[in-house]
Structure 1
């Protein structure tokens, strides 16, 4: 076994990412630009990250043979999503540099643990109750009032695994619809906006917080992000400070995103924590001095973090499979790029579009963030309507 916590990984060292979706793809591309070799642990050969990786290990992320193969190829390991086996990360960490650590991932991959963490550290968040039994379900309804949101403790994303409940009599049905698995019940929050902050934290506690992003969602899926968010200097400072406090309290090393509800009175409540790069941070590829993915590489390798400030304001719009379906085939890329030559297109290499599936994103940089948002939305409309 190797104790390599203090080791700095320099190019052309081999790095690995567990998971092979679009976040893994962009990590691999950032690592390669810096001169590293980058591979993936993937369940399929044609996944987005595997398409661009230097090498691929095929197998489930909790299979010992696959983990051993990753150890043979890579000196440093990171993750692209939180639903990774914590015991697998702990096994890897005894042999290789692993960032973020298994405790960070373990905490964030389960809403019961995540809410308990926020409560223990006094970080503002929505009122909640655990739901693991019928008695706890009934107690949640009494304690939180209605409406409330019932969410599965694990494996939920983009609105999956949650039910909005308006009537007390509907609570049992809602829990049954979620499979009667452990859940959290969250009190309803009237919010003015949803914002997020991406944080990068190095091995020695060095940390930076990106500017605040203002997020718009459609059907519980992120639709657009504009950065910096027009929320004023006080909310901006508080959001960044709270995100840094979350990262420090978790002891995370790597990139982390904190999503907030911003209430009408200016109060911020932490909604969710993602212990990896985030969809709302994709625009940092063009807009920031150092992208969230380069920060992930730097943090993993023990290098100093880069500057997190924006070179220019920007906006990002997700491209879902709905666009392909509405266009009746390939979107009209020529029309969108002709309308605005400043638009940047990122496609993830996914072969089959489907409703709600993230196929790529568009980014526009502009001195005026609201103009950037208008331009990126206009370009996206042109993909269907010309």
Structure 2
């Protein structure tokens, strides 16, 4: 990972979703060739890359072809099997590495990593069998039961008020390993995106203030309007510490909660660019995807600068249906008539409720102006105000 890959080299990415698509765009803008491995012929990243390897993530022939075609390889989602990354790393530089991705794939390991780094997180307990279920401390209820693996966007979790609900929820989740977190009184949500290269250089994007609805990110505001500067500094320091402790190479997002009493606790992390950082394409001089390219290729890291306050709105497939559940086209012409609006659609032809179809970033000279236009956009699209 210490060798610099100059533009003209070929960069690979495991996964063909929208994060891979935006990575491909960033790599191509810097002059790199790109290869995507994804089994879906219509994968959003695959249709814009120079080449797609159509194979499963543990397909030996597919992994061998990806390694043969590429000079270095990244991943666009955390549930790519760590074993596949280990196999690829025997032939090519891989960032982030399998060990770090494996930590992020398991909520119990993730919590343990936060604890090792001295980063506060919610009180919690691991549940893998009936004995551990029975031993859960009373103080953790009411809580949120989350599957240890494969959970995202609110999937694989359930709110539990008491022991009976906890037992029922664990049964509903299939008795798989879970983490029970104490339900905490939340005031705000925020995230920090850091990039670290093989030489240990670290940079970060500005702190992002986030709003989730039904477990899915809905709105991101930068600068974070309600987060005190000291708390922002604390979050940045914690995210940097976590990345350094894992000897992480790549882009890492750490999500935090601000509690009602003002304390900061870590929620979870993602070993890849993050939905909350999409605004950086339009509002920063270096986007999170360019940072991903730079860390993978061994290029110098520069601290991203926010040149415009921004509000990002997530665009889910619900927008493509009216109240009667009939298909419709969102009013993009009216939306794009507003100043500072940047529309990003991901090339997904099949709109489904809850599916991420794109995002929209509003930039403006001031945060107040960006928010005002974003609220007008939300009204046009039928999104809830914020």
Short-chain TM bin: over 0.9
Residue 342 of structure 1: CA displacement? 1.9
Matches within 5 A, 1:26-37: 26-37=22-33
Larger mean CA deviation between 98-107 and 167-176 belongs to 167-176
Cα distance in structure 1, aligned partners of 2:75 and 2:180: 28
Q: Does 1:208 align with 2:193?
A: no
Q: Does 1:151 align with 2:150?
A: no
1:291 corresponds to which residue?
287
**Residue 39 of structure 1 aligns to a residue in which SS?**
strand
Q: Let me know the Cα RMSD of the aligned residues.
A: 1.3
**Any conservation in 2 of the 1:326–1:384 contact (CA below 8 Å)?**
no
Q: Residue 88 of structure 1: which of 80, 84, 100 is its match?
A: 84
**Any conservation in 2 of the 1:283–1:314 contact (CA below 8 Å)?**
yes
**Any conservation in 1 of the 2:123–2:140 contact (CA below 8 Å)?**
no
Residue by residue over 1:124-165, the C-alpha shift from the partner in whole angstroms, topping out at 9 and shown as x without a partner, is: 10011000011211222x243321110000010010000100
**Residue 189 of structure 2 aligns to a residue in which SS?**
strand
**Residue 320 of structure 2 aligns to a residue in which SS?**
helix
Q: Does 1:166 align with 2:161?
A: yes
Residue 9 of structure 1: CA displacement? 0.6
Q: Does 1:232 align with 2:228?
A: yes
**Residue 135 of structure 2 aligns to a residue in which SS?**
helix
Cα distance in structure 1, aligned partners of 2:162 and 2:82: 37
1:119 corresponds to which residue?
115
Question: Gaps (5+ residues) in structure 2?
Answer: none
Q: Does 1:199 align with 2:194?
A: yes
Whose helix fraction is larger, Structure 1's or Structure 2's? Answer: 1
Q: How many residues align?
A: 379
Cα distance in structure 2, aligned partners of 1:341 and 1:69: 45
**Any conservation in 2 of the 1:76–1:97 contact (CA below 8 Å)?**
yes
Cα distance in structure 2, aligned partners of 1:336 and 1:53: 29
Residue 384 of structure 1: CA displacement? 5.2
Matches within 5 A, 1:320-331: 320-326=316-322, 328-331=327-330
**Any conservation in 2 of the 1:100–1:252 contact (CA below 8 Å)?**
yes
Residue 97 of structure 1: CA displacement? 1.0
Q: Residue 9 of structure 2: which of 13, 32, 37 is its match?
A: 13
Cα distance in structure 1, aligned partners of 2:123 and 2:140: 10
1:62 corresponds to which residue?
58
Q: Does 1:48 align with 2:38?
A: no
Matches within 5 A, 1:267-306: 267-306=263-302
Residue 369 of structure 1: CA displacement? 2.0
**Residue 199 of structure 1 aligns to a residue in which SS?**
strand
Residue by residue over 1:321-378, the C-alpha shift from the partner in whole angstroms, topping out at 9 and shown as x without a partner, is: 011112731111111112x132100000111111111100110112322431331232
Larger mean CA deviation between 325-334 and 352-361 belongs to 325-334
2:370 corresponds to which residue?
372
Q: Does 1:102 align with 2:98?
A: yes
Residue 29 of structure 1: CA displacement? 0.2
1:383 corresponds to which residue?
381
Q: Residue 18 of structure 2: which of 22, 29, 48 is its match?
A: 22
Residue by residue over 1:88-111, the C-alpha shift from the partner in whole angstroms, topping out at 9 and shown as x without a partner, is: 111111210100011110100111
Q: Residue 128 of structure 1: which of 124, 127, 130 is its match?
A: 124
Cα distance in structure 2, aligned partners of 1:186 and 1:233: 28
Cα distance in structure 2, aligned partners of 1:173 and 1:63: 37
Question: Gaps (5+ residues) in structure 1?
Answer: none
**Any conservation in 1 of the 2:211–2:217 contact (CA below 8 Å)?**
yes
* TM-score, length basis structure 2: 0.96
Cα distance in structure 2, aligned partners of 1:110 and 1:207: 24
Cα distance in structure 1, aligned partners of 2:171 and 2:274: 31
**Any conservation in 2 of the 1:194–1:214 contact (CA below 8 Å)?**
yes
* TM-score, length basis structure 1: 0.96
**Residue 62 of structure 2 aligns to a residue in which SS?**
helix
Larger mean CA deviation between 312-321 and 300-309 belongs to 300-309
